[in-house]
Amino acid sequence: MEHRLNARNRTITTIVFIAVATILVVPSVQAQTAAVQTEARCTIAKTNLTERLAVIEKTRSVHASVHSDIQAKVDTLITSATTKEYDQVSALTTAQASVQKNIDTYSAKVIAYTNTLKTASTIDCGKALATLDPAIKAARTSLAETNTAAATVRKSITEQTIPAIKAYATWLATQNTTPTTGTTE
Amino acid sequence: MACDTEYDTDNRNDRIMNPPNNYNQPISPEDDAMLQAIEALEAQTVDPDPKPLVPETPVTPAPVVVTPAPEPIPTPVITPAPVPTPLTVIEPTPVTTEAPTAPITPEPATAPTDPSSAIAAALARGPETTTPKSTYQPFPKKKLGKKPLLIILAIILVAGLGVGGYFGWQYLQSQKTSPIVNGIDTSVPDEDPGLPADSEASVNSTASDIENQVNSVDETEYKDETLSDAALYE
């Protein structure tokens, strides 16, 4: 009888020990596993951020070239219109100035975005793992602003510059037809 | 073969031993040509390698020639060489009294009694005659001028131009065919050369060019998806 009681107590003790050990150990293991996973994600994210940074730098260069070319064409037209005493030259100059302002804003936004990408891509995943998420969050915010600025540039060119140029073309057409009607009359 | 018979030394020796009595007359052109041919043959046989010929001739005149012409310098050999030959030839001097003309003197000089001795005497005079004839070359050397060098340089130049032109053309083609960078057309549309400057058509063309450029600008790199979790952590 006594032997049977001793065996029972021993079993209970073992079960209690296992339960306590599980309660104590499992969370720490889980935490370590999560940390390892986070570090691995950090490394992957840094690689992708570095690639993204290169793409954005290239895109910024291409966009700057296109914007510069457009502004140069508008500048040529403004000079021509001034020479021909076009009475709505101000429409062209206003459109050009507005577009240039938006281009400058866009350029500043792109630079800010690239800076956030640089910051996020240079995080030490071993020591400053906690700073990765804030950095990515800042990069996402800057990305949205950059996207808006790019759209603003495109919109200003489409809605201001091109109509002003077409108005100038129309005026040129009237200037060409006016002398002929005058001579026939 | 007829030529061999003409230049036969026996005939020559016969004529030397029995000279005609017309020494007061100049030698006929035929004889003169024959003599020159003989001398040319002798010179060819002597000139290339005179040294082995002298010992090969066991004839008596050889020591006669060798003794006055010791090793020292070739110039002293020349002066004594003619001395023995006139001595041997002096016998027909009575003939010379009849015709003391200049062309006759060399003829008796080469008139030893024996043909072999005559050849030996002629060989002995080798050093004397080799000096002017040593410059004779049956096959004149072809001088290599600057022509081959110029040809090689021209070939190299043409090849260089060809290779340079090829790579230059490839580079120009690559520049023309790759205006799209990162999905964006960076090429600047050319103005229509047919349109006059500052005309309605040219301005409208500029407007459409700008519109195309704006529409070709790729802004997908600024989309939010580019920094999504799926894009970052995969």
Q: Which string of DSSP letters, residue by residue, matches B173-212?
A: HHHHH--EETTEE-PPPPP-TTSPTT-HHHHHHHHHHHHH
Residue pair A114/A56 in contact by the 8 Å Cβ criterion: yes
Q: Does position B217 have pLDDT exceeding 70, yes or no?
A: yes
Could A77 and B186 be called an inter-chain contact, meaning their C-beta atoms sit closer than 8 Å? no
Residue listed under structure tokens 């340079």: B164
Averaged pLDDT, B3-9: 49
Asked if A105 reaches chain B (Cβ–Cβ under 8 Å), the answer is no
- Say how far apart CA B8 and CA A123 lie, in whole Å: 113
pTM for this prediction? 0.48
> What is residue A109's predicted lDDT score, i.e. its pLDDT?
96
**Residue A54 domain flag:** yes
Q: Does position B63 have pLDDT exceeding 60, yes or no?
A: no
Q: Which of A100-104, B141-145, B153-157, B212-216 has the lowest mean pLDDT?
A: B141-145
Residue pair B219/A147 in contact by the 8 Å Cβ criterion: yes
Query: Greater confidence, B199 or B102?
Result: B199
**Residue A93 domain flag:** yes
Averaged pLDDT, B101-125: 60
Query: Greater confidence, B224 or B96?
Result: B224
Could B219 and A84 be called an inter-chain contact, meaning their C-beta atoms sit closer than 8 Å? no
> What is residue B102's predicted lDDT score, i.e. its pLDDT?
46
pLDDT, tens digit, 9 for 90 and up, residues B148-193:
899 999 999 999 999 999 999 988 887 765 555 555 555 555 544 4
Could A169 and B203 be called an inter-chain contact, meaning their C-beta atoms sit closer than 8 Å? yes
> What is residue A13's predicted lDDT score, i.e. its pLDDT?
86
Report the domain count for chain A.
Answer: 1
**Residue A102 domain flag:** yes
Averaged pLDDT, B122-145: 62
**Residue A181 domain flag:** no
* Ranges A16-25, B67-76, B91-100, B154-163, most confident: B154-163
Range of the domain at A48: 32-176
**Residue A135 domain flag:** yes
- Contacts across the A-B interface (CB distance below 8 Å): 104
Residues of chain B positioned with their CB less than 8 A from the CB of A156:
none
The number of angstroms, rounded, from the C-alpha of A96 to the middle of its chain's C-alpha atoms is 25
Averaged pLDDT, B185-202: 61
**Residue A10 domain flag:** no
pLDDT, tens digit, 9 for 90 and up, residues B24-45:
566 688 888 888 899 888 887 6
> What is residue B190's predicted lDDT score, i.e. its pLDDT?
52
Chunked mean pLDDT (size 10), chain A, 185 residues: 75 84 74 73 89 93 94 93 91 94 96 94 82 89 95 94 93 75 38
**Residue A26 domain flag:** no
Assigned token pair, B80: 């004594």
Q: Report the C-alpha dihedral over residues A24, A30, A31, A35, rounded to 10 degrees.
A: 160
Helices and strands (DSSP H and E) totals, chain A: 4, 0
> Most B CBs within 10 Å: which of A39, A73, A121, as the mutation test of the B interface?
A73
> What is residue A99's predicted lDDT score, i.e. its pLDDT?
95
Q: Does position B105 have pLDDT exceeding 60, yes or no?
A: no
> What is residue A146's predicted lDDT score, i.e. its pLDDT?
95
Rg (Cα) of chain B, in Å, rounded?
47
DSSP 8-state code for residue A160: I
Phi first, then psi, for residue B127 (nearest 5°) are: -55, -30
